[in-house]
Amino acid sequence: MVWALVAGIEVWLMVPGLVLAAWVYSRWRHSYWSTFGVPTPPFVPFLGHVHKQLSLTQARWEYLNEVYSKYGGSSLCGMYEIFRPVLMIGDPDLLKNIFVKNFDHFVDRRQFLAEEGSLINEMVFNKSGDEWKALRSIMTSTFTSGKMRVMFPLITDKADVLVSFTLQEAAKKPYTDMKVNFGLFTMDTIASCAFGIECDSFKNEKAEFARQAEIFFAFSLIKTIKFGLLNISPRIFNSLRLKLETTALRFFESVVEQTIAARKQSQRRGDYLDLLLDAQADNDQLTTAKTAATTLKQSTTDSLDGTENLSITPSKQVLTDTRIVAQCVLFLIAGYDTTASTLTFSSFLLAKNPVHQQRLRQEVQHMVQEHGAVTYQGIMEAKFLDACIMETLRLYPPSFVGERKCTKTFKIPGTNVTLHPGEYVTIPFWSLHHDPRYWPDPEAFLPDRFLPENKADITNFTHMPFGMGPRNCLAMRFALMEVKVALAKLLLKAELRLCNGHEELKLERSPFLLRPEGVNLVISPLAERTQG
């Protein structure tokens, strides 16, 4: 009995010692940035700043802007994900080094490697090093101007349906939630261009494709925790046997697989899937040619050496069927929510600024008079349309934060800070877009900032809605074309006005994307004589 009591006392005496040791270890790990003289915002032992990054009470961009404004984030600021050091860089000159000048030191992004065999692992954004370079090179060829022209008619068809549906709805209701309508448009466009199917979300509320997409994109606490854990500690994520694969993701995978099988035996549509299959065929021909050349070279060398050719390593196929499926699903993941949000933000800003709305409408009407319709060339030449979208993306960038992973030891110019392979750099896009040092009257919607004659006044690396450098958004051209066509078609037929009681824009508190809660607008059809 006495010995048991003594043992119990010893255990209780050990507990404070263990707690103290853990606390000291935490303080030591969280002193990393202070050794370089880099400022750090207040942190919590053992958590660092992760509780702020994934908070459900304060929007993440608001917290990052607080760090940007108060703790040196506009230049350099150190943060911690648990114990992992992350460097926030907000200085445009330093960002040029990260994105372009020294890109070879920051080739990679953070990888979100899910369970083995997951489609997510094959997506181009999740690749690194030479594997990323090879896949990105092939994927880039699917977004050239010529390829965009091929897909243009598919987008205009969906935009016509959007306008027709919106006007019909406006005739029955006092206001229209444009977030819903733009979501349906984007869904139908991606379903058509990336998956090769006609979703008809506007006509069929029970369309399975749209239903699965709604499930996939539904925001939930569980999804946030799982994604955040994978982000911070993949080892813990995998040890808990958590999965990112969902029924909806497997549904999209099945749709693309079936479409690929049918497409290889049937007529082309000129969509993204066709372009990927073309790229695959070109890559296969190149791979075969390289393998044949390698075989010939090896055989010649062996015959000269008097040796026997025992093995030949063929060139690796980069764009497999599985990777084509993955890129189509990525098209949905990366393009649906961000494009729908950009359209929603644009419509709200144009409704709030009727002078700019009318000016844009007149430009589109002039374009139609010159080209006879909304054409690819006309859309690309519409300068004020482009300016309105760029200004929208400045105020409301759906991707409000960027990131790069250091792959080679790199000393930050003008500092004593050295980044090592495996460390991350965070870029606060939202804060840069709203910094009054770079943007006079930053909260105002002033599209003229982005007209050709004024672009020289914009400080480089302060407007990055699609990222910058070789690893920027791959589908930027497609996304902009989609937004421009939808807005042009809508403004030709309707006037957008703010709804009473809905004059202010409310944002969701998603820790991953900037999203509007909803935008209720009064939609009034234009008289025929004003439509151009």
Please name the residue ranges forming H helices in 203-305: 208-217, 221-232, 234-239, 247-263, 272-305
Of 14-23, 69-78, 446-455, minimum mean pLDDT range? 14-23
Could you tell me how many helices (H) and strands (E) the chain has, helices first? 18, 9
What are the tens digits of pLDDT across the range 23-47? 777 788 899 999 999 999 999 998 8
Burial, 103: exposed, middle or buried (Cβ in 10 Å; 0-12, 13-18, 19+)?
A: middle
Question: Which is more confidently placed, 140 or 16?
Answer: 140
Q: Are 466 and 476 in contact (CB under 8 A)?
A: yes
Residue range 262-291: mean pLDDT, rounded = 76
Can you tell me the distance from the alpha carbon of 120 to that of 216, in angstroms, rounded to the nearest whole number? 14
Identify whether 309 is part of a domain. Answer: no
Q: What is the pLDDT of residue 304?
A: 47
pLDDT > 60? residue 488: yes
Q: Are 404 and 398 in contact (CB under 8 A)?
A: no
Of 122-131, 311-320, 432-441, minimum mean pLDDT range? 311-320
Q: Are 249 and 329 in contact (CB under 8 A)?
A: yes
Q: Which long-range contacts (CB under 8 A, 24 or more apart) does 473-477 make?
A: 473/334, 474/124, 474/136, 474/139, 474/140, 474/143, 475/143, 475/331, 475/334, 475/335, 476/143, 477/143, 477/145, 477/148
pLDDT tier at 283, thresholds 50, 70, 90 = confident
pLDDT tier at 7, thresholds 50, 70, 90 = low
Q: Which amino acid type is present at position 82? A: I
Identify whether 300 is part of a domain. Answer: no
Phi, psi of 127 (to 5 degrees): -95, 160
pLDDT > 50? residue 137: yes
pLDDT tier at 311, thresholds 50, 70, 90 = very low
pLDDT > 80? residue 262: yes
Mean pLDDT score of the chain, rounded to an integer?
86
Q: Give 464-521 as a DSSP string.
A: -BTB-GGGS-TTHHHHHHHHHHHHHHHHHHEEEEEPTT--S--B---SS---BS--EE
Q: What is the pLDDT of residue 240?
A: 67
pLDDT tier at 89, thresholds 50, 70, 90 = very high
What are the tens digits of pLDDT across the range 157-184? 999 999 999 999 999 999 999 999 999 9
Share of the chain above pLDDT 70, in %: 85
CA nearest neighbour of 427 among 61, 153, 170, 158: 61
Q: Please list, in sequence order, all residues whose beta carbon lies within 8 angstroms of the beta carbon of residue 179, skipping any fewer than 6 positions away.
A: 340, 341, 344, 516, 517, 518, 519
- Tokens 């994520």 locate to 237
Identify whether 489 is part of a domain. Answer: yes
Q: Which amino acid type is present at position 163? A: V
Question: What distances in angstroms separate CA 42 from CA 27, 244, 327, one per listed residue?
Answer: 12, 32, 40
Q: What is the pLDDT of residue 313?
A: 41
Identify whether 399 is part of a domain. Answer: yes
Residue range 125-149: mean pLDDT, rounded = 90
Q: What is the pLDDT of residue 314?
A: 43
User: 3-state DSSP helix/strand/coil percent for the chain, to nearest 5?
Assistant: 60, 10, 35
What are the tens digits of pLDDT across the range 90-103? 999 999 999 999 99
pLDDT > 50? residue 450: yes
Residues spanned by the domain of 453? 36-280+315-530
Buried b (16+ CB within 10 A) or exposed e, 376-404: bebbbebebbbbbbbbbbbbbbbbbbbeb
Our measurement of the distance from residue 195's CA atom to the centroid of its chain's CA atoms, rounded to an integer in Å, reads 19
Tell me whether strands 402-405 and 84-89 are parallel, antiparallel or unpaired: unpaired
Residue range 339-360: mean pLDDT, rounded = 98
CA nearest neighbour of 403 among 432, 425, 428, 429: 425
Q: Which amino acid type is present at position 495? A: E
What are the tens digits of pLDDT across the range 197-256? 888 888 877 678 888 887 777 767 777 777 767 666 666 666 666 676 678 888 888 888
Q: Are 388 and 355 in contact (CB under 8 A)?
A: no
Q: Which two tokens stand for residue 195?
A: 């998956």
Identify whether 2 is part of a domain. Answer: no
Identify whether 12 is part of a domain. Answer: no
Q: Which two tokens stand for residue 509?
A: 């508190």
Q: Give the 3-state secondary structure of residue 116.
A: coil
Can you tell me the distance from the alpha carbon of 444 to that of 206, in angstroms, rounded to the nearest whole number? 40
Question: What distances in angstroms separate CA 284 from CA 314, 319, 324, one per listed residue?
Answer: 12, 8, 13
What CATH number does the domain containing 131 carry?
Answer: 1.10.630.10
What pTM, to 2 d.p., does this model score? 0.89
* Count of domains observed in the chain: 1
pLDDT > 90? residue 464: yes
Residue range 288-302: mean pLDDT, rounded = 51
Identify whether 232 is part of a domain. Answer: yes
Q: Which two tokens stand for residue 31?
A: 């002193």
Q: Which two tokens stand for residue 416?
A: 């004593």
Q: Give 172-197 as a DSSP string.
A: HSS-EEHHHHHHHHHHHHHHHHHS--
Share of the chain above pLDDT 90, in %: 55
Residue range 403-430: mean pLDDT, rounded = 95
Q: What is the pLDDT of residue 312?
A: 38
Q: What is the pLDDT of residue 242?
A: 67
DSSP lists the bridge partners of residue 427 as 402
Identify whether 392 is part of a domain. Answer: yes
- Tokens 């790199």 locate to 410
Q: What is the pLDDT of residue 10?
A: 53
Torsion sign, CA atoms 333, 336, 337, 342: positive
Q: What is the pLDDT of residue 307?
A: 46
Q: What is the pLDDT of residue 309?
A: 43
Most confident of 4-13, 213-222, 480-489: 480-489
pLDDT > 90? residue 53: no
